[in-house]
Amino acid sequence: MELFPPPTVDANETRYCFFLPPTDAESTDEALRSVAEQQCKAFLSFAAQQTSGFLWHKHRFHLEVKSTRSKAGPYYLSGRTAVGDAIQDEWVIAHLTFQLTKQFPGVIARLADTDGEFLLIESAEALPEWVTPEASDRRVFIVNEKLHIAPPATAASNRGKGGVFYDEDGLEQVLDPSVHTEASDAVQKLIQRKLEQVPAYLRQNRHRVRCLLPERAARVVALNGELVGPAVEAFYYREPKHAGFVCGKMAAMMTKGEGKTVEQMVTFSRAMFAQLKQQEFFPPKPFLAGEDSRFRVLQNGSSEESTHPDALAADIGVKLTCGLELLYAGDNEDQLGRPWKHTIEELLRKDEVELTALPIEPDDNDSWLYMHPDTLESQLQRAGSAAGPGGADELQNMAAMFGKFVDGVSGVDGVEGAEPVQFDMSSFMDLLNGQTGGGNNAGLNSPWGEHFMDEDEPSDSDSDDGSEVEGDEDFSLEEAMAEMEAELADTKVAKSFSRFEIVEDDENNAAHEQEVCDDGQTDMHDIPSPEKPLDLDYNLLSNLLESVASQEGHAGPVSTILSEMNFPKASV
């Protein structure tokens, strides 16, 4: 069964469901449904407590009892919330979902939005390589405040008809104790870091401002503040021609004989207030009728709006009233399927609100609407400077681990540890004084080589008996290595290594070239280019990273070796 079918409208929608813990198998279907309904009420009560005072941008958190045939039980709780332009509202729902799985043990949750598994999008930098948008669909669950991902290894045996992987298939893997589904600690930390921002958002996502409203519009807002969101959306996404026709009459909010204007404090979410304030809108004729209309401060343009104390209150009030009028004239419905027109009509019939007694307070500071370029730049630099996994230090540590491993002495029982160094002072002094004998036999065989010999001093090999040819045949270690590299330079072995490009200063190059030309010793084109240096660590890391990439997130030789060396798995 597909729990989250594609949305039928182009909207930002968050979908969620909760699988309840198993109950007594002998219970009747009616009893099981009653338990599910009680759980639904408990969930909604907990959610209302957690979001008390929060103003949802479009729809609130809501649950209904649904039936299923999964192993978790015949009933589950499901809901969907349209978040509109306030994308952060879906993280409020995510926060509630994680809290519910902690508050009610045994509950397993699913959460997704119109884009898919948005929890994986947030934790993408720490996910295994096999987790792709195509491979991870319907595999993400939440258990006891932890993210779980159903792996692909055991999914083939649990797929439904036609090879389609359903939510129930992933649920079976999460319920199977033999299958490890809990995501890594790195993934959990990224999710929790985002969820920790929600409490502050719940407190800060509100903006109270004084508005000038017609009496009927003020009564509707005072009785049901949740109509502010739909009214703002109706105004913001209005069709100009239709809006001009409807707002030109104002048949519902400004009837004849009720021309009183009321001052009222209205609470918006920050997104709602920004949508109203940043749109330029000239008030329709009904607002400007009458010489004593307080909305006439808007008829002279922006210069009057910026100086008159009622300018902002009148501007926001006109836009909100037009939104209510458009909502009343349209055929849109609320989250539960009830037409907004019916809701507004019921509110207009009520007269128990004394509008003149409502307190008026100073407007909230709207400085959050504006960000200085320097502030934005500093935030970008702070985000970019955050250290993440896989940095240069970790690559150097990887190369150092391999170097230490290679330098170890391998015996019958494996690599042996470093033994204490024994230093013989008398032998060392004899060597320096040339008393060890053997002449040049210390070249390649001795621990120190010929570098301790003074090349300027004459040796026994420099005698007059013609031993110069014999001395020329003795090569030092550097000469042997240089000759070997020269022989291998044109082979495939040499080409398999990567080399660094030498970047020299342009001024130094020009000075060197001019000096050579002045001496007249060689032509510019005959100057040999410096040889590119060979870095073994660079080649080692390059080969290791290529091997890790070829594993595609699965087990392999390189990951196994690094694991044996205690290299952090999250850094690979």
List, for residues 29-78, the tens digit of each pLDDT value: 888 899 999 999 999 999 999 999 899 999 999 999 998 766 556 889 99
Rounded to whole angstroms, the Cα distance separating 502 from 414 reads 40
Tally Cβ neighbours within 10 Å of residue 166: 17
In this predicted structure, what is the pLDDT of residue 99?
96
Sorting pLDDT into bands at 50, 70 and 90, what band is 390? low
Read off the tokens for 556. 């392999």
Candidate from 12-16, 254-258, 392-396, 444-448 with smallest mean pLDDT: 444-448
In this predicted structure, what is the pLDDT of residue 138?
85
| Mean of pLDDT values over 7-33 | 78
Please report, as a single letter, which amino acid is at residue 58.
K
The answer to whether residue 199 scores a pLDDT higher than 90 is: yes
- C-alpha pair distances (Å), 339 with each of 58, 216, 282, 327: 15, 19, 28, 9
List, for residues 57-71, the tens digit of each pLDDT value: 999 999 999 987 665
Contact call for residues 298 and 304 (beta carbons, < 8 A): yes
Query: Which position has the higher pLDDT, 353 or 315?
Result: 315
Tally Cβ neighbours within 10 Å of residue 329: 18
In this predicted structure, what is the pLDDT of residue 7?
43
- C-alpha pair distances (Å), 39 with each of 32, 34, 76, 100: 11, 9, 10, 11
The answer to whether residue 519 scores a pLDDT higher than 70 is: no
Read off the tokens for 300. 């002279």
Q: Which of 169, 331, 324, 170 is nearest to 234 (CA)?
A: 324
In this predicted structure, what is the pLDDT of residue 91?
95
In this predicted structure, what is the pLDDT of residue 451?
42
Query: Which position has the higher pLDDT, 114 or 406?
Result: 114
What single string gives the DSSP state of each residue in 76-119? EEEEEEE-TT-TTHHHHHHHHHHHHHHHSTT-EEEEEETTB-HH
The answer to whether residue 208 scores a pLDDT higher than 90 is: yes
Please report, as a single letter, which amino acid is at residue 254.
M
Rounded to whole angstroms, the Cα distance separating 118 from 135 reads 14
The answer to whether residue 466 scores a pLDDT higher than 60 is: no
Contact call for residues 86 and 269 (beta carbons, < 8 A): yes
Query: Which runs of E-coded beta strand occur in 251-337?
Result: 261-268
In this predicted structure, what is the pLDDT of residue 420?
58
The answer to whether residue 203 scores a pLDDT higher than 80 is: yes
**CA count, 13 A, side-chain hemisphere, 218:** 25
List, for residues 217-240, the tens digit of each pLDDT value: 999 999 998 999 999 999 999 999
| Mean of pLDDT values over 455-474 | 49
The answer to whether residue 8 scores a pLDDT higher than 50 is: no
The answer to whether residue 190 scores a pLDDT higher than 90 is: yes
In this predicted structure, what is the pLDDT of residue 483?
78
The answer to whether residue 385 scores a pLDDT higher than 90 is: no
The phi, psi pair for 147, rounded to 5°, reads: -85, 135
In this predicted structure, what is the pLDDT of residue 416?
59
Residue boundaries of the structural domains of the chain: 13-200, 206-369, 425-488
| Mean of pLDDT values over 375-385 | 69
| Percentage of the chain modeled with pLDDT above 90 | 32
| Mean of pLDDT values over 19-34 | 82
Q: Which of 89, 24, 22 is nearest to 61 (CA)?
A: 89
Candidate from 188-192, 253-257, 410-414 with smallest mean pLDDT: 410-414
Mutual orientation of helices 536-551 and 557-564 as an angle, nearest 10°?
Answer: 120
Rounded to whole angstroms, the Cα distance separating 362 from 210 reads 7
| Mean of pLDDT values over 154-181 | 72
What single string gives the DSSP state of each residue in 229-273? HHHHHHHHT--HHHHHHHHTT-TTTS-TT---EEEEEEEE-HHHH
Tell me how far the alpha carbon of residue 535 is from its chain's centroid. 35
Sorting pLDDT into bands at 50, 70 and 90, what band is 359? confident
In this predicted structure, what is the pLDDT of residue 189?
93
